[in-house]
Amino acid sequence: MRKRNSLTIALTLSLLIAVLGILQPAWSQEVTAAIVGTITDPSGAPITNAEVTAKDVERGTVWTAKTNDSGAYNILRIPVGNYTLRVSAPGFQSAVYPAFTLQLNQTARVDVPMKVGQVSETVEVTGAAPVLQTQSTEVGTVLESHAVTSVPLAGRNYLQLALLAPGATTNNPEGLNEPHNLDNSSRPFINGNREQANQYFLDGQLNSEDKNNETSFVPNIDAIQEFNIITQNASAEFGNYEGGVISVSTKSGTNNFHGSVFEFLRNDKFNANLPSNGWSKGVLAQENTPTQIVPGHSADGTILKPEFRYNLFGGTIGGPIIKNKLFFFADYQGLRDLNSGETGAQLLTQRMRNGDFGQLCTDFGGAFDGAGNCTGGIGIQLHNPNNTAQAVPFNNLASAGYPISTVAQNLFGQTKYYPLPQVDSVGGGNNFFFNSGNSINTDQGDLKIDYNISDKDHVFGRYSQMHLRNPAFSGCLFCAAGSAQGADQPIRNAVVDWSHTFSANLLNDARIGFNAVRFDQSLVQTSSLGNIGQQLGIAGANFEVPGLLNIQIPGIGPGAEPSLGQLNLVQIFHTTQGQFNDNLSITHGRHTIKTGFQYVRFRQNYLYNGNNGALGSIGLPGNSGSGLSDLWLGVASGGVRDAYVNPTQFRDRGNLYALYVQDDWRTTSTLTLNLGLRFEDHTPLYEVKNRAVNFGLFTGAIQVPTSAHRALYNNYLGIGDWEPRLGLSWAPAALHGKTVFRAGYAISSFFEGGGANEQPSLNPPFGIIGQSPASDATLNSIAQGYPAPTSCAAIDFACYAGIRIRVTDQNIRPAMNQQWNLTIQHEFTNTLTAQIGYVGQHGTHLLNFFQATQLEGLNAAGTIAKPGEPIVSRIAGPYLGGGAAGSLYSADNSALGGANAIAGTNMSNASQRYDALQAVLQKRMSNGLQAQVAYTYSKCLSNSPGYFGTGWGSTNATSSGGQPGWQNSYDGRADWGPCF
């Protein structure tokens, strides 16, 4: 058990008491920058009431502030860009600081010493632009527009930039390429945290799909002003993250018109063929070629280059509507990606369709003896599927009197969808070749308006949208090979921001916006098939869903793909995040105080038919000697499907409330303290029509929503909701301000989505029922198909007997992540810095997925077996009633091990530890060169990879293949291993 630090708790409570008196409704996520500093006379004494003016070089906008009794000034929440600084005070010459760049979330410190003289006299201050990070202990990376557009990014996906930051990595770099399809994209792992634990912002507006924690709108990189990733110790303004905070600010118009046009083109006309085909395009078949040419192949036997078209194009334009007042910026990007290729399948030859499977012997080097038995080579001998000792002479099922199944007979009659193979053999594996692939069409754009109403009021608004269409196509609709899911994905993101300056020491910023994601995926290319499964003679094969179910057939020969149909994994996610924020910034002496309020409304409409598919599968075990002959005989057994009970969208709703205060205290000219505290409450999700069922994790009691308790898990309110953010930044005068030492500690929380397949709404009688086919491996048993799914007449134990259920622990809570760092940064030149430091994290209460109906093993002594001890028997575990008579466990799994008696369970009981040495060398843009080199030496250990696992061939020790779930539901310590 983790021990709490009493000092941390005391400091947290002290901060809370201190800030409650000044807390005002305000917002969190900072999307701008700030300039702070001290104005002094020649003796070093502070100058009071000096006027400091920052001017945006590109837009002419001016921002002013007055120094206080300490000579300190603060110009807060101004847009990123290039600025000059002018300082004036009675009795002193006016000082002008040359242009420098403000980066996203940067607090630049510019101290200006004044000279005695007339205000009308002007002197230019010589000095380097601020590059050291002396006001904050955040760990992260900022990239300006030039770097964003200059770095080669495959598919122009900005998320690849995250990998430039120390501590960021991925085990699926291809998933960071375009197109940004929510179903196949990936996200960076930051400081060992799960890829779904990051938070994304676009101009301060949330930019994520929250049901599965996916990223949302991917902006045109020509429209990005700056990219900022905070990998640790973010200020109290940021919340609901465990990994990193990835922010993007879009460009604004300026006093001059600017624009760009681009196109990236790839085409098969420019490509060589594969080396196996001699790099050539192939020799086309002539009309008088006497032999049959396989489609996709040339007359010389080589494979023709597949058709490939890739066009990524667009442009930007921005400029003034009213100079110095009103500006616009707009951009468009389109993608046309046609990617197709040859796909092979193994179909029954004409002889096989007639019942003669002799080719299973002769095509593999065998021969039949006088008795009709296959000998020699690797030929296959068929036999009676229910009596392996009874061989089929000459592999001729028809001559031996075996009847063809009605399903096979109907299948062979569908020559449009199940044609004869082009190669009259099965020895080479696939014998039918066709074109398949997908087309990805994307259109997206942004429109941003900036309006400087007055010196005190500034407004901007931005609207962005993207529509991705991903139709798939296949030259063989019955073939499992070459099929793909089609997707339709429109995304909208908008924000309006208004900042108002009450006085030189008081500024308010209000923001409202939304992010809406629609993701619809289904087998659109098979919708025209109607109830084809039932038409072929498979009973119950098309409950609410068109198409052909997945008939799993073992292949014969190298790379053979004889399977038919598809699972049909229908996915519909319509999620919206509406947010309102208001932020108040106060300057008092050497204190810069920001206090805020955040409200987010989560709206999640979804329909998911489970990982087994709405059509499901049915297996041909090869009992007759091969899967191909099993198809002819109709011998089938095994399979599973997740059948809809009520195929309508579920509608979950929830809220996030947060309060924060952040005090950046410049105690001296060399020491800055960052003192912050955030309170964050995630209210439980509930289904608007109460269509959900949960189960007591230990009691097994059935739980349904009521008017008083609509959510099926409790609202966590505890010490974990209070998140201190502490930091220290010290730039010793003895080192001439060229070196800064930083230390920080922070706690952040994150409520991870449990995945669409584990939601309480999917439990009967509202969601899906896992079914097995009725087929029993006898002749023509494939026709038995699936029974019609039935809904429960009443919600009781009998409703859940022998089926898969989904369980959410009632005490589930947000993950809590403690972060700490100690770093040193040194400035070599005014454009070159180096940083090295130790970064550590400890995550607790991470979401974990496990099997609650797993049996516990007993040793020879009749006690629970320890790791490594032989297991001689098994008993029910402690969950869901522990197998007691009349409990849910006994009803759900009366045989203590039924195939479908699974209770997938979400519980926040996993943990993680990360320690790293991180170093980065950064050169800011000068003389046309900008560079960053990062290095990380780290170790990350965890006992759970999370619901989504790590996948992609991971060597994660926590579970086989990086998949979610403890191997032993009762011993999470045994899964302690590398995070990914």
Q: What's the domain count of the chain?
A: 1
Contact 481, 343 (CB under 8 A): yes
Decide if pLDDT at 12 tops 60.
Answer: no
Percentage, residues of the chain above pLDDT 90: 46
Phi, psi of 699 (to 5 degrees): -85, -30
Higher per-residue pLDDT: 424 or 305: 424
Reported as a single tens digit per residue, the pLDDT across 144-177 is: 888 888 888 888 999 999 999 999 998 888 888 7
- pLDDT for residue 957: 33
Confidence of residue 114 (pLDDT cuts 50, 70, 90): confident
Q: Which of 54-68, 210-224, 273-287, 845-859 has the lowest average pLDDT?
A: 273-287
Burial class (CB in 10 A: 0-12, 13-18, 19+), 690: middle
Cis peptide before 878 (omega within 30 of 0): no
Residue 370 burial (CB < 10 Å; 0-12/13-18/19+)? exposed
Parent domain of 36: 31-124
pLDDT of 117 > 90? The answer is no
Rounded CA-CA distance 595/498 in Å is: 16
CA 710 to chain CA mean position, Å? 28
Instruction: Please state the rounded mean pLDDT for residues 678-693.
Output: 93
Q: Phi/psi at 543 (nearest 5 deg)?
A: -75, 105
**pLDDT for position 818:** 96
The Cα 532–Cα 525 span in angstroms is 13
pLDDT tens across 824-838, in order?
999 998 889 999 999
DSSP-derived letter for residue 712 is: S
The token pair at 415 is 């020559």
**CATH number, position 77:** 2.60.40.10
pLDDT at 472 (0 to 100): 80
pLDDT per position as a tens digit, 253-310: 999 999 999 999 988 777 777 665 555 554 443 333 334 444 445 545 556 666 778 8
The token duo for 29 is 């996520």
Of the candidates 489, 349, 484, the one whose C-alpha atom is nearest the C-alpha of residue 426 is 349
Poorest-pLDDT segment among 24-33, 308-317, 471-480: 24-33
Q: What is the pLDDT of residue 745?
A: 97
pLDDT at position 249 is 93
Name the residue with tokens 């400081």.
191
Average pLDDT for 681-695: 92
179 upstream amide cis, omega within 30 of 0: yes
- Residues 523-546: what's their mean pLDDT? 83
Instruction: Give one DSSP letter per residue of 60-101, joined into a string.
Output: --EEEEE--TTSEEEEEEE-SEEEEEEEE-TTB-EEEEEEEE
What is the average pLDDT across 896-902? 55
Q: Considering the domain boundaries, does residue 94 fall inside one?
A: yes
pLDDT beyond 50 at 784: yes
d(CA 900, CA 909): 25
**What integer pLDDT is reported at residue 959 of this predicted model?**
36
How many degrees, rounded to 5, is the angle at CA 916 between CA 914 and CA 922? 135
What's the mean pLDDT in 479-507? 88
Helix (H, G, I), strand (E, B) or coil at 276: helix
User: Residue 425 in contact with residue 362, Cβ under 8 Å?
Assistant: no
Tell whether the model's pLDDT for residue 127 goes beyond 60.
no
pTM: 0.84
Asked, for residue 89, whether it belongs to a domain, the answer is yes
**Residue 603 pLDDT exceeds 50:** yes
Is 38 among the domain residues? Answer: yes
List, in order, residues 6 or more apart from 34 with CB less than 8 Å away: 74, 75, 76, 77, 78, 106, 107, 108, 592
What is the pLDDT confidence band of residue 958, given thresholds at 50, 70 and 90?
A: very low
Q: Say if 50 falls within a structural domain.
A: yes
Over residues 192-226, the pLDDT tens digits come to 999 889 999 999 999 988 877 788 999 999 999 98
Say if 55 falls within a structural domain. yes
Rounded mean pLDDT, 939-967: 62
Could you identify the residue written with the tokens 């205290």? 665
499 neighbors 458 (Cβ within 8 angstroms) = yes
Q: Which amino acid is at 672?
A: T
Higher per-residue confidence, 540 vs 127: 540
Check residue 486 and give its pLDDT: 77
Residue 52 lies in a domain: yes
- C-alpha separations of 479 from 345, 391, 414, 907 in Å: 7, 30, 13, 40
DSSP conformational letter for 283: P
Nearest 5°: the CA angle 262, 266, 269 is 135
Q: Read off the DSSP letter of residue 354.
A: T
Average pLDDT, the chain: 85
Rounded to 5 degrees, what are φ and ψ at 251? Answer: -70, 160
Q: Residue 358 is encoded by which pair of tokens? A: 């002799």
d(CA 125, CA 200): 39
Confidence of residue 98 (pLDDT cuts 50, 70, 90): confident
Containing 351, the helix (H) or strand (E) segment is: helix 350-353
pLDDT top residue among 251 and 115 = 251
Q: What is the pLDDT of residue 304?
A: 65
Q: Does the structure show a pLDDT above 70 at 765?
A: yes
**Residue 378 pLDDT > 70:** yes
The secondary element (H helix, E strand) that includes residue 782 is none
Percentage of the chain beyond pLDDT 70 is: 88
Measured CA to CA, the distance from residue 571 to residue 305 in angstroms comes to: 33
Give all strands (DSSP E) within 667-738, no chain letters: 671-682, 686-687, 694-695, 702-703, 722-730
| Per-residue pLDDT, 79 | 86
Q: In sequence order, what are the residues at sequence separation of 6 or more whose Cβ sits closer than 8 angstroms to the Cβ of residue 117? A: 91, 92, 93, 123
pLDDT at residue number 900: 54
Task: Say yes or no to pLDDT of 952 above 60.
Answer: no
Window from 101-110, 321-330, 443-452, 841-850 with minimum mean pLDDT: 101-110
935 occurs within a structural domain: no
Q: State yes or no: pLDDT of 674 exceeds 60.
A: yes
**Distance separating the N- and C-terminal Cα atoms of the chain:** 24
Within a domain: 56:
yes
Output the six-digit token pair for 26.
């305000």
